[in-house]
Amino acid sequence: MLGVTPRTRGRIVFGIVVLGLLGLGLGYAVGMMTRPQGVELGVERPPVAYATDAMQADGQGNSAAPGIPGWRDLYVNDYADLLDDDAETRIRAQLEELYEYTGVEMTVLTIARRSDYGFEGTNEAFATRLFNTWGIGNAEANDGVLILVSRFDREMRIELGAGYGSARDDDMQWVIDEYFLPNFRADRYQIGIEQGVEGTIREIAGVSPGQYESSTLWRGFSTIGRGLESLGGWLWGLLLVPLGGAAWTFRRWLRYRPRDCGTCGTRMVLQNEDVDDAHLSGGQRLEEFVRSVDYDVYECPSCNRMEISRYPAWFSSYGTCPQCDYRTMSSDTEILEAATTTSTGRKRIDYQCHNCKFTDSEVRTIPKVSKSSSSGSGRSSFGGGSSSGGGASGSW
Ligand SMILES: [Zn+2]
Ligand SMILES: [Zn+2]
């Protein structure tokens, strides 16, 4: 009937279903493996005794101890000026999001050199002292994270709160070696810091920025996607060309497969576009004109029976008109009042059908701008956490 036997068709359908289920299963499994976890804390080690309480006593947490800088911002202090404003905003948004969803305080500090602050000592000693003076992380969980880049010392450190023990040191070393150092060696400080912060967030929270609320399946697919991405573009090409070609061929086959007349059984003939139009209504012609729907007209050469197939476009700015039912209604949106982080906004949408002249207008509420995409999530100081010197270092 369709050029293939029912048995072959059954096999094709079965194959597609099996492949689909395998794909879904794989996506789900990877999604489960990468689901957000509470931060797993290792055995607690006693914090190094750089008393933080006295230094935090003014409630601002902003006072610099001898030998180290103070902070001006809870998320990014770019004293070495390695980041442009946009990068700083992006990083801050990711760190705020991390804090909102997991409670983990992660902060990024860049400095020119330690000696600028009169500090004489190692990268590690500097990081631990700074961590404990600032009091990074929740005081009970001790789950804070400091990313320190010392530009002209050519050294960096990811210092972890005492709550992690030494369980995560290797992960942090991996992030440093994989993301930070290769870029730093090529003088790409901003890229290195952005990739490194994302990598650190993934290791600490088990989730990429922006995916805390996404479904298991979606997380799985995006993790697989990242894996494939790292394989390089040429492999994508190898995979996608035949896949895309097959999908396109299949769609064409579905649409132009030979069909027989339902009345007399004769093979029907596809009419060309000009003949088409004569058999279409005004609304259908308009749909074709605005490309929201495509029509094919088949005619039986022996009994002249007509068959019209409708192919709605996947993407079209035209909606279906509630009055005439043709997909010929355009919409126009005007913002009446923009949304802010504290109040919702309003927009008016005007609808107009180009077939029957139906018009309508509605006012809709625009949701508040989510906090994680703007600065200030209500926190005014670090949580008083401490580090016992865990983490990892790198130099370039
Ligand atoms: Zn016929
Ligand atoms: Zn209409």
Q: Which ligand is nearest to the CA of 353?
A: 2
For residue 150, the cross-strand partners are 111, 155
- Closest ligand, as measured to the CA of 358: 2
Q: Which ligand sits closest to the CA of 306? A: 1
DSSP labels for 230-250? TT-HHHHHHHHHHHHHHHHHH
**Range of lowest pLDDT (35-49, 135-149, 268-282, 293-307):** 35-49
Q: 23-70 pLDDT, tens per residue?
A: 888 877 777 766 655 444 443 433 343 434 433 333 334 556 778 898
Tell whether the model's pLDDT for residue 91 goes beyond 60.
yes
Q: In terms of Cα–Cα distance, which of 323, 322, 320 is closest to 310?
A: 320
* More confident: 345 or 198: 198
Q: What is the model's pLDDT at position 166?
A: 85
- Ligand 1 center to 270 CA (angstroms): 13
Q: From ligand 1's centre to the CA of 255, what distance in Å?
A: 19
Most confident listed range (25-39, 168-182, 372-386): 168-182
Query: What angle (nearest 5°) sits at the alpha carbon of residue 194, between those of residues 193 and 195?
Result: 95
Average pLDDT over residues 94-120: 91
What is the tens place of the pLDDT at every residue in 92-102?
Answer: 999 998 898 88
Ligand having the closest approach to the CA of 360: 2
Closest CA to 63 of 113, 143, 6, 130: 130
In the reported structure, the alpha carbon of residue 283 is separated from the centroid of ligand 2 by a whole-number distance in angstroms of: 8
CA of residue 321 to ligand 2 center, whole Å: 5
* 317-365 topology per CATH: N-terminal domain of TfIIb (2.20.25)
- CB 109, CB 123: distance < 8 Å: no
pTM for the whole thing? Answer: 0.52
pLDDT above 70 (res 355): yes
What is the 265 CA–ligand 1 centroid distance (Å)?
6
User: In this predicted model, what pLDDT tens digit does every residue of 207-253 receive, in sequence order?
Assistant: 788 777 766 777 777 777 777 666 666 676 777 788 888 888 888 88
Sequence-ordered alpha helix ranges (H) in 181-267 = 181-185, 189-205, 216-229, 233-256
Reported as a single tens digit per residue, the pLDDT across 288-305 is 999 999 898 999 999 989
351 CA to centre of ligand 2 in angstroms: 10
CATH label, 39-211, candidates 3.30.70.2660, 3.10.310.50, 3.40.50.970, 3.40.50.720: 3.10.310.50
Percent of the chain with pLDDT over 90: 41
**pLDDT for 130:** 94
Closest ligand to C-alpha of residue 321 is 2
Q: What are the structure tokens assigned to 237, written together?
A: 């090409």
Q: Catalogue the E-assigned strands of the chain.
A: 76-78, 106-111, 145-150, 155-160, 269-270, 293-299, 306-312, 329-337, 345-353, 359-366, 390-395
The model's pLDDT over 311-341, given as tens digits with 9 standing for 90+, comes to: 888 788 899 999 999 999 999 988 898 887 7
pLDDT of residue 17: 83
Whether the Cβ atoms of residue 355 and residue 319 lie closer than 8 Å to each other: no
Domains 39-211 and 317-365 share a fold: no
Question: Counting Cβ atoms within 10 Å, is residue 20 exposed (0-12), middle (13-18) or buried (19+)?
Answer: exposed
Residue 42: the pLDDT is 42
Candidate ranges 40-54, 112-126, 273-287; pick with highest mean pLDDT: 112-126
Pick the ligand that lies closest to the CA of residue 356.
2
State mean pLDDT over 351-380. Answer: 76
- Judged by its nearest atom, the ligand closest to the C-alpha of residue 324 is 2
- The domains of the chain are located at 8-36+218-257, 39-211, 259-315, 317-365
Chain-wide mean pLDDT for the chain?
A: 83
CA 308 to ligand 2 center in whole angstroms: 21
Q: Calculate the CA dihedral of residues 208, 380, 385, 157 and round it to 10 degrees.
A: 50
How far does the centroid of ligand 1 lie from the alpha carbon of residue 303, in Å? Answer: 4
Distance, CA 373 to ligand 2 centroid (Å)? 40
Cα(74)–Cα(108) distance, rounded to whole angstroms? 9
Report d(CA 181, CA 198) in Å as an integer. 14
Comparing 184-188, 204-208, 280-284, the range with the smallest average pLDDT is 204-208
